[in-house]
Amino acid sequence: MAKVPDDVFFATIPQLNARLKAREFSAEDLARAFSERLQTLAPRYNALALSLHQEAIRAARDVDKDLKRERYRGPLQGIPYGVKDLLAFAGQPTTWGAAPYAAQVFDYNAAVIDRFAGIGAILAGKLSMVELAGGGGYRYPSASFTGPGLNPWDRTRWSGGSSSGSAAAVAAGLLPFAIGSETSGSIVTPASYCGVTALRPTYGLVSRYGAMALSWTLDKLGPFARTAEDCGLILQAMAGKDSRDPGSAGKSFYYTPQYARPLKDLKAGYSPADFDGVQETARPAFAAALDALRQLGLQLVETRLPDFPYGAVLSTILNGEMGAIFEPLIAAGKVDELADKPQIAGLKASLDLSAKDYLKAMRIRRLIQDEISKLFTSVDILVAPGRANIATKIDQRVDVQPPGMPPPPKDPGMRAIIPMGNLAGLPALALPCGFAENMPVALQLVGVPFSENQLLAVGREFQAKTDWHTRRPPGA
């Protein structure tokens, strides 16, 4: 067995793929190295829900047989990865991060797991999450079957919800990439807090078959990785039509950033109020990030979102769909086994939402989608902070304004970009862009539906000019 050097733990997917093809080490060597690192270090961050060490080794041996015969299946062949524990893996527990489902086992795989298996990617573990992906609303990071997600940059701070384990595992170099989910912020937030690159795809581009449903019309699956290029390669493997998912867009995705429009031809909408409203210690990092985008040729144009109650509309839709999904849990009284009391109350209250209110929210959503389409006739992408603050402390409430934040500016700018983007089903790319108080901060780029290649092209150019995505947490 060849020794796997430590530098692989923060290598990109193309780098790992090239080293596997060059026989510097075998897929089994790589799987053992990452799997053992995951088992050893993930408990530091409460990031691991289930190790799949033996399964990973068996899969890696099959990959080595293919590599020996030069049967190449793509850049993810032989690359270990992890999934948020809301994705079914046949014969193994899928807890959804919640005590009532601790013994839940499915006899089939989620669609994305089968897609990755088909090209030889190696599933090494299932990763921790906020219980039920945060359904019902929660007050503290401890709202999880596996405990609060701890940030690799500072374990007194949160790794973000609800894809806490996915972001932490990639940030700490425990896995080259991981899959998370977003209903309203659960990819962008942990990526921003942990300093990793992540992609929320267009609604319907990736099948959710075999994934826990929180909101049928809002849920999306997406990757956490080292770079924008990695995210593009992963999305190419994940995307595609699936009749088992009623929300499937019936589209595939091919990573072709070389055909994207040059950055100098792009107009990027942004709001100065958003960047004035970030945590004071983070302002220099965001200012430098905007300057880097300008130097790349991107035309920054002052923009604000149309005036809608984005948060209220999203919450109404989410509560209506969540109540229907988790009605059996609530009716059986097992909802009381959850860790967070406000979340229990929120789930119970969801059953009281009227059909009238749900339908009104869906009608407003249609208006929002129409107005956002008009907005994109004057700009090509939107640029905003991933989060306005650095990762919060573990003992701080997550449902209130973090300490040290300035009062919200009078100009709303694009502060509602996360609920807006999810209501409209838009793709978003989270890019590390600096540090404040030794903690990462990030930009988010948002585009029109199915514009992932354009976002990834901007991300790739930004990461060629900056090195924030290459920084490693202390001790990692």
Query: CA nearest 313: which of 208, 409, 421, 211?
Result: 421
Going by their DSSP bridges, the two strands 381-385 and 267-270 should be labelled as parallel
How far is it, in rounded angstroms, from Cα 372 to Cα 313?
15
How far is it, in rounded angstroms, from Cα 372 to Cα 308?
11
pLDDT of residue 283: 97
Residue indicated by tokens 């807890």 = 95
Say whether 84 is catalytic: yes
Domain boundaries, the chain: 7-476
Question: Residue 92: pLDDT above 90?
Answer: yes
Query: Which residue in 35, 84, 128, 192 is the catalytic one?
Result: 84
Print burial letters for 30-60: b (CB count within 10 Å at least 16), e (below 16): bbbbbbebbeebbebbbbbbbbbbebbbebb
Is 0.75 topped by the overall pTM? yes
User: Tens digit of pLDDT for each residue in 105-137?
Assistant: 999 999 999 999 999 999 999 999 999 999 999
305 in Cβ contact with 416 (< 8 Å): yes
Print burial letters for 211-235: b (CB count within 10 Å at least 16), e (below 16): bbbbbebbbbbbbbbbbbbbbbbbb
User: Tens digit of pLDDT for each residue in 291-348?
Assistant: 999 999 999 999 999 999 999 999 999 999 999 999 999 999 999 999 999 999 999 9
pLDDT of residue 422: 98
How far is it, in rounded angstroms, from Cα 31 to Cα 8?
11
Say whether 162 is catalytic: yes
pLDDT of residue 1: 61
Angle, helices 310-325 vs 355-375, to 10°: value is 130
Query: Which CATH fold would you assign to the domain 7-476?
Result: Amidase signature (AS) enzymes (3.90.1300)
Query: Which residue in 186, 207, 215, 248 is the catalytic one?
Result: 186
> Counting runs of H as helices and runs of E as strands, what totals does the chain give?
15, 13
Q: Is 281 exposed, middle or buried (0-12, 13-18, 19+ CB in 10 A)?
A: middle
The sheet carrying 220-225 orders its strands as 48-51, 122-127, 80-84, 177-182, 220-225, 197-200, 428-436, 439-446, 381-385, 267-270, 299-302
How big is the CA angle at 238 (ends 235 and 244), to the nearest 5 degrees? 140
Query: Which residue in 162, 166, 248, 271 is the catalytic one?
Result: 162
User: Tens digit of pLDDT for each residue in 386-425?
Assistant: 999 999 999 999 988 887 788 888 889 999 999 999 999 9
Say whether 166 is catalytic: no
pLDDT of residue 475: 78
- For residues 5 and 402, the model is more confident at 5
pLDDT of residue 97: 98
Mean pLDDT of 277-282: 96
Q: Is 369 exposed, middle or buried (0-12, 13-18, 19+ CB in 10 A)?
A: middle
pLDDT > 70: percent of the chain: 100
Neighbours of 23 (CB within 10 A): 11
User: Tens digit of pLDDT for each residue in 184-234?
Assistant: 999 999 999 999 999 999 999 999 999 999 999 999 999 999 999 999 999
Write the CA distances from 364 to 117, 352, 369, 393, integer angstroms: 40, 20, 9, 36
How far is it, in rounded angstroms, from Cα 423 to Cα 283?
28
